[in-house]
Amino acid sequence: MKKLSVRLKNVLVITIMTLALQTACEAKKKYPKGIKHVVVIGLDGMSSTGFHAATTPCMDSLIGHGAVNYAVRSVLPTVSTPNWNAMLCGAGPEITGANSNSWKANDLDFPSVAISKDRSFPNIFRILRMQKPDAELGAIYHWGGFSAMLEKSILNVSVHCSKQLETAQKSAEYIIEKKPTFLFIQLDGIDGAGHNSGHMSPDYIKYIGETDTHVRIIVDAIHKAGIAGSTMIMVVSDHGGIFGGHGGNSYDELVTPIIFSGKGIKQNYRIRQQIYRYDVAADVAFALGVTAPQLWTGRPTQAAYIGFDEPDNLWEEMEVLPSPRFAAKDNNHKAAFGGEFTGKATVTIIAPEGTKGVIRYTTDGTTPTATSTVYSTPFTVDTTTVVNAKLFNEKGESVKVSATYKITE
């Protein structure tokens, strides 16, 4: 009996010691292991709806070898500079001052919360330069406006290319030659297709597919450079769009996908934690093991990384779903939904790609509820009618979308 209790005591001591050791190890496990390079591939104007509709084998393969989330929220307004800058700065326009496309990096008319010695809000390049002085840091971009967000004196390479393919090729050459610690690439073509032909137009969706081949050039270069085993790739976007532009507050303007892939990242994983535009800088810092400054509001997407879990306090009560849309009149995707018709109009409502649910609609001007008419097939209206539609499923509902069908004799 006495012998047994001694043995029990030993077991207890060993168990307590093991637990203490585990806790110490876990406390130390602050950053992901083995990520030496981060390449961010920024695709301007790619909504989640557009991405779901397009054929993108390279990005699909990155997701297969990585983690994805389709509900990354933009900062306002949903235009390029505020959103790219938020990704670089770990903070939104109310903090950095970058609230429009005409803003410049050391524009102190709108006082940012803090500045570096060069009078810019401290972005990820600045933080990396301070904490990893020898790091190879580059920015290669297709949209000229991207230049205004960069402190060129702390970058090894800052290149503007006038064409998207050239931007991808230049990035590939740079990756092979310099094996950068951090490279931010911006490709502008998808946004251009959205402005020219309308978001969700066949041209827009096709160009997302074409952009996928440019993403492949960059991914192939990472392999050719021999750094695929230590590189984390992120595919990000700044905003989506609707009709012929963006800047407003519709779901398709506000929400884009994000992909994490490669070293340190879980495979084929759907990230549940909420991600904001300004989290990107925090992720780059986290992946490369540098300390993000306290003034940033961005948080790393820890759930994407091997050895890290989803937060305990995830919000799981209800979700805001993507909105359905109405078929474009005469294939004109730049015009608002609905339009003017002679005699009668056919109303076709399209479910948002990538999300299952039931579309309900009204024709009396009210907002659809969970008991409104279910949309199943196109229907005809022969007097001027406002059609409102919403998507519902067991997880939540979308906001209302509206189309006016003006009928003339």
Of the pair 147, 156, the CB lying nearest Zn ion is at: 147
Show the binding pattern over residues 183-202: x = contacts Zn ion (CB under 5 A), - = does not. Answer: --------x-----------
Of the pair 83, 362, the CB lying nearest Zn ion is at: 83
Q: Which stretch binds Zn ion (CB under 5 A): 41-49, 250-258, 319-327, 377-385?
A: 41-49
Q: Are strands 182-187 and 137-141 parallel, antiparallel or unpaired?
A: parallel
- The residues with which 305 forms a beta bridge, in sequence order, are 265
Residue 169 has a CB neighbour count (10 Å cut-off) of 17
Q: Give how many residues touch Zn ion by CB under 5 A.
A: 4
Q: Which stretch binds Zn ion (CB under 5 A): 21-29, 39-47, 174-182, 339-347?
A: 39-47
Q: Are strands 345-347 and 385-393 parallel, antiparallel or unpaired?
A: unpaired
Of the pair 47, 301, the CB lying nearest Zn ion is at: 47
Residue ranges in 338-367 that form contacts with Zn ion under rule CB under 5 A: none
Rounded least distance, CB 97 to Zn ion, Å? 18
3-state secondary structure of 170: helix
Whole-number Å distance between alpha carbons of 96 and 225:
35
- Spatial neighbors of 6 by CB under 8 A, at least 6 apart, are none
Rounded least distance, CB 42 to Zn ion, Å? 9
Task: Quickly tell me which residue has 């939104």 as its tokens.
Answer: 92
Q: Judged by CB under 5 A, which of 136, 238, 253, 397 binds Zn ion?
A: 238
Rounded least distance, CB 93 to Zn ion, Å? 14
Of the pair 136, 191, the CB lying nearest Zn ion is at: 191
Of the pair 57, 144, the CB lying nearest Zn ion is at: 144
Rounded least distance, CB 239 to Zn ion, Å? 6
Of the pair 241, 322, the CB lying nearest Zn ion is at: 241
Whole-number Å distance between alpha carbons of 359 and 372:
9
Whole-number Å distance between alpha carbons of 275 and 267:
18
- The residues with which 374 forms a beta bridge, in sequence order, are 360
The dihedrals phi and psi of 192, each to the nearest 5 degrees, come to -60, -45
Rounded least distance, CB 82 to Zn ion, Å? 9
Of the pair 44, 252, the CB lying nearest Zn ion is at: 44
| Contact between 301 and Zn ion per CB under 5 A | no
Alpha helical stretches, state H, 99-188: 124-131, 164-178
Q: Which stretch binds Zn ion (CB under 5 A): 127-135, 236-244, 264-272, 384-392?
A: 236-244
- Spatial neighbors of 17 by CB under 8 A, at least 6 apart, are none
Rounded least distance, CB 188 to Zn ion, Å? 7
**Closest residue to Zn ion in the complex (CB):** 80
Show the binding pattern over residues 67-106: x = contacts Zn ion (CB under 5 A), - = does not. Answer: -------------x--------------------------
Task: Quickly tell me which residue has 């940033």 as its tokens.
Answer: 296
Note the Cα 76 to chain centre separation in Å: 14
Of the pair 44, 136, the CB lying nearest Zn ion is at: 44
Rounded least distance, CB 75 to Zn ion, Å? 12
396 vs 16, 370, 372, CA distance in Å?
A: 45, 10, 15
Q: Which stretch binds Zn ion (CB under 5 A): 18-26, 55-63, 232-240, 315-323?
A: 232-240
Whole-number Å distance between alpha carbons of 139 and 131:
18
Q: Judged by CB under 5 A, which of 37, 44, 123, 225 binds Zn ion?
A: 44
Could you tell me if residue 288 is left (phi over 0), alpha (psi between -120 and 50 degrees) or otherwise beta? alpha
Of the pair 82, 357, the CB lying nearest Zn ion is at: 82
Whole-number Å distance between alpha carbons of 71 and 90:
18
- Picking from 10, 116, 67, the residue whose alpha carbon sits closest to that of residue 301 is 67
* Binding footprint of Zn ion on the chain (CB under 5 A): 44, 80, 191, 238
